[in-house]
Structure 1
Amino acid sequence: MKFEVTILGSSSATPVHNRNPTAQLLNCNEKFYLIDCGEGTQQQLIKYGFKASKIDFIFISHLHGDHYFGLIGLLSSLHLNGRIKPLKIFGPAALQEILALQFKYSETVIRYPIEFVVTEATVPVQIFENNDLVVDTVILNHRIPCTGFMFTQKKRLRKLIVEKLEAEGINIDYYPLLKRGIDLELPDGRILLNSEYTTDSDTPRRYGYCSDTLLDEGYFESISDCDLLYHEATFLHEMLDRANQTHHTTARQAGEIAKATRASKLLIGHFSSRYKTLQALLEEARSVFEQTELAIEGNTYTI
C-alpha cells in the first residue's frame, strides 16, 4: 500500500528563493492528506502535479502564518472550481473563526461542506480514523499552542496464498475468513490451518510530523518508533540561544530526538531564511543521526 509524503514547502517564517513556507502532502493508499498550508501551497500543488480536488483532509498544526496563510486561498479556489464533496479540517479553534471572518467580508458562501475538528494542545489524543490509518496529536512546545501529528497505518488483513488455495480447490467463499486469521473445518472434514494458507500482512508504518517546537522530552513517547520522522531544524546548533528564544530546534537537536525516539529515518525542514544552502544543517543532524535527509521541495519520501 502506498504511504509517502511529498514536500511542498520547507522554509520557516518567510518564503525565500526556491523555498516556500511549510506544507506537505501525505498519500496513503491514494487518499491525500494536506499537512499545514503555508503561503503558496496551491501553487506548489500545481507545480508538482497534484490535484487539490483530491485532498479531503487538512491538518493545521498551529496559527503562525507560515503554517496556514495559504489555506483561505486554497479553500476559495476549491469553491471556484466547483467542489461539492465535503472537506475536513483539523486545527486550533481560532482557525474556524479566522476562516469565517474571511468568508464573511468577501461575501463568499462556500458551496461544499467543511467539517471543522478542533485540536487541543494539551494532551495527545486520537483525532481521526478511517480504513487506512489513525491520526493522533503530538503536543509540542512552541510559543503558542501547537500540535504535531502521528499518522499510523492500520494493520491489513492477512495475505492469501492464492496459488495453493486454487491448487487444492478451496472455494473462494472461505477466503474472507482465512484473511481474518481463522482456521477452518470444511464439510469434507479437511482442516485449513490459517498459517498454511496465508502470510502476515506488512507491519504498519508510522509517520511523525513535528512542526515547530523546542526539544522537549514530553512528546518523545508520542513520536517513538517512527518509520519516518519529520522534525523541524530551523537553526544550526551555534544559534541554540536563538532557537530557545523562538521555541525552535537546531539540526543537532533534531538528530538527538530521532536517536532517542528510535526513528528509522529523519527528515529535517522548516529552515531559517538565513541559510542559502542547507548542507551544513544536514551534516550537523547526521553527526548525531546518520539516517537523516533534507526535506527538499518536490521530493517524495516513501515511509
Structure 2
Amino acid sequence: MTFQVTILGSGSALPQPGRHFSSQLLTAGHECFLIDCGEGTQYRLLEQKFRPSRLRAIFISHLHGDHYFGLFGLLNTLSLGKRTEELYLFGPKGLGDILTEVFRHSSTRLSYPLHYHDLDADNPGPIWSTPTLTIHTLTLRHRVPCTGFVFREKSRARRIIKEKITLDMTYEHMRLLKEGQDVYDKEGKLLYTYEEYTLAPPKPRSYAYCSDTAYLPDLVPYLQDVDLLYHEATFLDDLTERANKTFHSTAAQAARIAEQSNIGKLLIGHLSSRYLDSDASLLEARSVFPNTFMAAEGVTFEIAAQ
C-alpha cells in the first residue's frame, strides 16, 4: 500500500517566490487527505495533477491565515465540480462559524455533505479512523490553539505462504492463520501453526505533522518511533529568543525533538521569509539529527513498508 506525503506548501506567514503557504497531501492506499490548506492550495494540487475530488478529509491545525485561507476556494471548487461524496473536515473551534458566515454572505450551497468536527487542542487523542489509518491529535504550543496530527497505519493480517497451501486447508483455517492462531482439528490435534504457514505483516507505518509550535519536549512521548515527522523550523538557533516570543521553533530545536523521539526521518519547513534559501536551516538541523530533509514544494516523501 502506498503511504506518502507530498509537500504542497512549506512557507510561513509572508508570501515568498518559490515557497507557498502550508499544505500537505497525505496518500494512504486509495485514501487521500489534506493537511492544512494555505492560500493557493488548490493550484498546488492542480500542479501535482491531483484531482481534488479524491480528497476524503481535510485537517486544519490552527486559525492563522497561512494555514487555512485556501479552504474557502477549495470547498467551493469541489461544489462547482458537482461533488456528491461526503467530505470530512477537522479543525479548531471557530472554523465552523467562519465557514458558515462565508457561505452565507456568498450564497454558497455545497453540492456535497460537509461533516465538520471541532478539535480541542487542549485534549489530544484519537479523532477518526478509516479502513487504513487511525488519526490522533497532539497539543502544540502556539499563540492560538494549535493541533498536531499523527497518522498511523492499521496493522494488517499475516500473509499466507502460497506454496504451503494444501487442498484440505479451508477458508476458516486460513482466516485463523492470518489472525496469528494455530489450527487444530475437532480432536485437538495440531494441523497448522501460524509461524510455519504465514509471514508477519509489514510493520505499520506512521506520519506526524507538527505545525506552528514553540519548542515542546512534551511531544516526545507521543512521537516515539514515528517513521516520518514534519516539524516547523521557522528560525535558526541564533534567533531562539525571537522563536520563544513568537511561539515558533528553531531548526536545531526541531532536530532535538526528532532525536529524542527516535523517529526515522525529519522534514523541516515553515522557514521565516528572512531566509532566502534553506541551506543554513538544513545544515543546523542535520548537525543534531542527520536524517533531516527540507519539506520543499512539490517533493513527495515515501514511507516504505518494512
Q: TM-score range by the shorter chain?
A: over 0.9
Displacement of 1:227: 0.6
**1:94 and 2:94 aligned:** yes
- Residue 174 (structure 1) aligns with: 173
2:56, 2:133 → 1: CA distance? 14
Correspondence for 1:106: 106
- The residue that corresponds to 2:13 in the other structure is 13
- Whole-angstrom CA distance in 2 between matches of 1:121 and 1:169: 55
Is residue 207 of structure 1 aligned with residue 207 of structure 2? yes
Instruction: Kindly state the Cα deviation for residue 196 of structure 1 after the two structures are TM-superposed.
Output: 0.8
Q: Which residue of 1 aligns with 2:139?
A: 139
Matches within 5 A, 1:254-273: 254-273=254-273
Tell me the residue number matched to 1:220. 220
- Per the alignment, residue 26 of structure 2 pairs with 26
1:59-95 residue CA offsets vs partner (Å, 9 max, x unmatched)? 0000000000000000000000000010000011200
Whether the 8 Å CA contact 1:186–1:192 is kept in 2: the answer is no
Deviations along 1:78-131, one digit per CA (max 9) or x if unpaired, are 000000010000011200000010000000111100101110011211001122
CA distance in 2, matches of 1:169, 1:51: 47
Measured against aligned partners, the alpha-carbon deviations of 1:168-202 in whole angstroms (never above 9, x if no partner) come to 65344532222111211247966111111101101
Of 187-196 and 288-297, deviating more is: 187-196
**Mapped partners of 1:214, 1:202: distance in 2:** 35
Q: Distance in 2 between matches of 1:73 and 1:244?
A: 33
> Which letter does structure 2 place at the counterpart of 1:34?
L
Q: Which runs of 5+ in 1 are unaligned?
A: none
Contact 1:160–1:179 (Cα < 8 Å) also in 2: yes
Structure 2 counterpart of 1:28, one-letter code:
A
1:216 Cα deviation after fit: 1.4
SS in 2 for 1:110: coil
Could you tell me which amino acid in structure 1 is paired with residue 239 of structure 2?
A: M
Amino acid at match of 1:177: L
Post-superposition CA distance 1:194-244 (Å, at most 9, x none) = 111101101111111100000112222222221111000011111112111
Structure 2 equivalent of residue 55 of structure 1: 55
Please say if residues 14 and 20 of structure 1, whose CA atoms lie closer than 8 Å, have aligned partners that are also in contact. Answer: no
CA distance in 2, matches of 1:14, 1:178: 56
Q: Which residue of 2 aligns with 1:185?
A: 184
Counterpart residue number, 2:150: 150
Q: Which amino acid aligns with 2:144?
A: I
Structure 1: which amino acid aligns with 2:234? Answer: T
Is the contact made by 1:60 and 1:67 (CA closer than 8 Å) also made in structure 2?
yes
Residues 230-273 of structure 1, C-alpha deviations (whole Å, 9 max, x = no match): 00001111111211111100001111111111111100011111
Q: Tell me, what secondary structure is at the counterpart of 2:148?
A: strand
Q: Which amino acid aligns with 1:170?
A: M
Partner residue in 2 for 1:233: 233
Which range is displaced more, 98-107 or 240-249?
240-249
Residue 53 of structure 1 deviates from its aligned partner by 0.4
Residues 160, 197 of structure 2: 8 Å contact kept: yes
Q: Counterpart of 1:72?
A: 72
Question: Aligned equivalents of 2:113 and 2:132: distance in 1?
Answer: 23
Match of 2:94, SS state, is helix
- In 1, Cα distance between equivalents of 2:263 and 2:172: 41
Contact 1:149 1:210 (C-alpha < 8 Å) held by counterparts: yes
Q: Does residue 287 of structure 1 match 2:283? A: no
CA contact (8 A) 2:224 2:263 kept: yes
Q: CA RMSD in A?
A: 1.4
> How much does 1:274 deviate?
1.5
Q: Secondary structure at the match of 1:220?
A: helix
Give per-residue Cα distances to partners, 1:27-75, cap 9 Å, x unaligned: 1112001000000000000001111000011000000000000000000
Q: C-alpha separation between the residues in 2 aligned to 1:81 and 1:141?
A: 38
Give the unaligned 5+ runs of structure 2.
Answer: none
Cα distance between partner residues in 2 of 1:16 and 1:289: 27
Task: Report the Cα distance in structure 2 between the residues aligned to 1:102 and 1:177, rounded to whole angstroms.
Answer: 53
Shift of 1:12: 0.5
The question of whether the paired residues in 1 share the 8 Å contact of 2:182 and 2:190 is answered with no
The answer to whether the 8 A contact 1:87-1:112 is kept is yes
Name the amino acid aligned to 2:8: L
Tell me the amino acid that sits aligned with residue 8 of structure 1.
Answer: L
Alignment-derived partner of residue 249 in structure 1 = 249
- Mapped to 2, the partners of 1:125 and 1:200 lie a distance apart of 28
Paired with 1:20 and 1:139, the residues of 2 have a C-alpha distance of 25
- Give the TM-score, by structure 2 length: 0.95
